[in-house]
Amino acid sequence: MKIVEHKTPFDIFAHWFEKAKTKKEIYEPTAMCLATVGENGVPTARMVLLKHFDERGFCFYTNLTSHKGKELVQNHNVALCFYWGILGIQIRIEGEVEKVSLKEADNYFASRRRGSQIGAWASKQSCEMENEEEFKERIAQITKDFEGQEIPRPPFWSGFRVVAKKIEFWHEGDFRLHNREVYSIASDKKWEVSKLYP
């Protein structure tokens, strides 16, 4: 897949993302690896789901008291990675996170299925679970508490936007002669493009 010249990296991302969504072999095209760094300087990584993106950045949502939630507050530097193997494509994104607005968080939470909303309230994400029955009881209690009414967004649950500083588009080539182009944000806020050896 050739990178289109004179396009922003977000145009290219959108084009490749749409391609990925057409492939039935890609079970979850929104899945992206999120790497964060804790206070101890040790990186951690996990898969999260891209919920929306535009030229402001790439958004995902989480429990703010979770391991990643705490790290994101402590250190705003993050990296994302998409890999769609059937297309021979990888996209690496480096940048800083900022919290989404309260309205954005409320709107997205309201769009979730009710079971997922209940789960967000019930889960003490990343905390040790003493027994599964206690979790089931929390789910049952919260289901009862919100019976017959809309479920509000928990105050400890919100979203983050990754504001990209660098985006690398990698496309698999024959004999490991891969195509790599990097878009980096310059001091004038314009994107500079460079090619890398594979």
Question: Taking the domains of the chain in order of start, what are their residue ranges?
Answer: 9-112+155-196
Of residues 111 and 2, which shows the higher confidence score? 111
Nearest-angstrom CA–CA distance, 107 and 46: 25
With cut-offs at 50, 70 and 90, classify the pLDDT of residue 4. very low
* Catalytic center residues: 176
Give me the mean pLDDT over the 64-82 stretch.
Answer: 96
In the predicted model, what is the mean pLDDT of the chain?
A: 94
SS3 79: strand
Domain 9-112+155-196, second-level architecture: Roll (2.30)
The answer to whether residues 183 and 9 touch, using CB atoms and an 8 Å cutoff, is yes
91-100, 158-167, 181-190: which has the minimum mean pLDDT? Answer: 181-190
Q: What angle do CA 64, 82, 153 make, to 5 degrees?
A: 25
pLDDT-derived band at 194, boundaries 50, 70, 90? very high
